[in-house]
Chains A and B, each alone.
Chain A
Amino acid sequence: MAMTMHCNIVSAEKEIFSGRVTMLVATGSLGELGIMPGHAPLLTGLRPGPVRLLMDNGEEEVFFASGGFLEVQPGITTVLADTALRADDLDEAAAIEARDAAEKGVADQGAEFNFSVAAAQLAEASARLRTLDELRKRKR
């Protein structure tokens, strides 16, 4: 049996996942991270994106986190997400629409334009789509 660690994913609204995993892949603020059991203590911010969990039995689960924090202790990892979803619950049409709206916002900069807000929206929408892609790849 592969080594496992405990993993908790919580969002401000509810507990999303709690169980044993062999590996966790998330998008940290400096890039993608793969965390395996016994990892040195780590604290990092999360960027909007998919969080992939590899289970004991070889199965994979994908979640979407819209930002937050990731804490790693040798035997336990905790994802404190702002909002998190099971990737299956993501709505592709809504995500595409949100991305298009955000892209349009970035492209056409009117008088009262808040670039950082639009950029954040765009990042989140494309992260949602990235999560969906990931999910589709896996299903095939």
Chain B
Amino acid sequence: MAAAREIKDKIGGIQNTQKITSAMEMVAASKMRKTQDRMREGRPYATRIRAVIGHLANAAPEYRHAFMEDRAVKKVGYIVISTDKGLCGGLNVNLFRTLVKDMSEWKSKGIDSQFGLVGNKAISFFNSFGGEVTATVNHLGEAPSMNDLIGGVKVMIDAFEDGEIDRLYIACNKFESAMTQTPEINQLLPLLAEDDEEIKHRWDYLYEPEARELIEGLIERYIESQVYQAVVENSACEQAAKMMAMKNATDNAGSLIDELTLLYNNVRQAAITQEIAEIVGGAAAV
């Protein structure tokens, strides 16, 4: 019966794991709702301000901000937004894979990259991967505030202003649905012109009061809102991915338990049959 005992212990162990994963699934599901709300609330502002900035980049303004100059690319910067905790399936790995692919494309043209990292997972990835990391931010929690982020982001923006980097991208996961999250790399700086044929001709805004002041304020808002939205979106992705990962783990544990139970019954039955055979054999010998 030693084998049966061993199997029984194993089943017990898996059942404990299953309890934990199913609890984590439920926690992730309830957190997902909250993070999703946060993401939805911020989306309209982020999209609208991106459209306004798109128009602005198309215009021929009297005042050209440094962020509007499309310079020859010698170095690119990435703001990488990852999660703080693991156990969320392939979410971070997919993002890093997309990022590395993008980077090696630049690399093949002889262009280096530098990174501003958000989240523990990106930090530990770049620890082993190498690469020039200039800023890190972690432990943002579930309700990230712009204040916690701004320091790390400022480093990258200053690098752009000083001409250290000539492009700034933001890499994060986009929340499509609870089932799918896709890694995305979006250009943050220089400002991207919107492809709109209607407003292609040369024109400029009327500015009230001064163009410079206004554009600076607007760009600052724009960067803040894009980064914040990316972080919020990524945290919604994290919870959704975690929920799926934990659901799969719970299901897998269930099927493993079924298999082991079958095996356990077989072994037990075999042992009983053997005992009976021994008794019958013994009686016949007497």
Which A positions have Cβ atoms within 8 angstroms of B?
Answer: 8, 10-15, 28-30, 40-45, 69, 71, 73, 78, 80
Given contacts A8-B44, A41-B205, 12 further A-B contacts (CB under 8 A): A13-B45, A30-B209, A41-B55, A41-B203, A43-B211, A43-B215, A69-B217, A71-B52, A71-B205, A78-B52, A80-B45, A80-B48
B214 and A45 form a contact (CB under 8 A): yes
Beyond A11-B45, A12-B45, A15-B44, whether A44 also contacts B52 by CB under 8 A is no
Alpha-carbon distance A8/B44, docked complex (angstroms): 10
The smallest C-beta distance from A52 to any residue of chain B, in angstroms, reads 18
The smallest C-beta distance from A79 to any residue of chain B, in angstroms, reads 9
**Partner pick for A71 among B55, B213, B225, CB 8 A cutoff:** B55
The smallest C-beta distance from A40 to any residue of chain B, in angstroms, reads 6
Alpha-carbon distance A42/B204, docked complex (angstroms): 8
Residue of B nearest to A43 (CB): B205
Beyond A29-B209, A44-B208, whether A14 also contacts B44 by CB under 8 A is yes
A30 and B208 form a contact (CB under 8 A): yes
Interface assignment of B100: CB less than 8 Å from any CB of chain A = no
Interface assignment of B207: CB less than 8 Å from any CB of chain A = yes
Alpha-carbon distance A73/B213, docked complex (angstroms): 20
Interface assignment of B206: CB less than 8 Å from any CB of chain A = yes
Q: In the assembled complex, which residues on chain A have CB atoms less than 8 Å from the CB atom of B204?
A: 41
The smallest C-beta distance from A86 to any residue of chain B, in angstroms, reads 15
Residue of A nearest to B225 (CB): A12
Which B positions have Cβ atoms within 8 angstroms of A?
Answer: 41-42, 44-45, 48-49, 51-52, 55-56, 59, 199, 203-209, 211, 213-215, 217-218, 221, 225
**Partner pick for B45 among A10, A29, A42, CB 8 A cutoff:** A10
Q: In the assembled complex, which residues on chain B have CB atoms less than 8 Å from the CB atom of A78?
A: 48, 51-52
Residue of A nearest to B203 (CB): A41
The smallest C-beta distance from B247 to any residue of chain A, in angstroms, reads 30
Q: In the assembled complex, which residues on chain A have CB atoms less than 8 Å from the CB atom of B41?
A: 13-14
Alpha-carbon distance A8/B203, docked complex (angstroms): 22
B221 and A73 form a contact (CB under 8 A): no
Q: In the assembled complex, which residues on chain B have CB atoms less than 8 Å from the CB atom of A13?
A: 41-42, 45
Beyond A12-B225, A73-B199, whether A44 also contacts B214 by CB under 8 A is yes
A43 and B45 form a contact (CB under 8 A): no
Q: In the assembled complex, which residues on chain B have CB atoms less than 8 Å from the CB atom of A40?
A: 206
The smallest C-beta distance from B196 to any residue of chain A, in angstroms, reads 10
Alpha-carbon distance A121/B123, docked complex (angstroms): 41
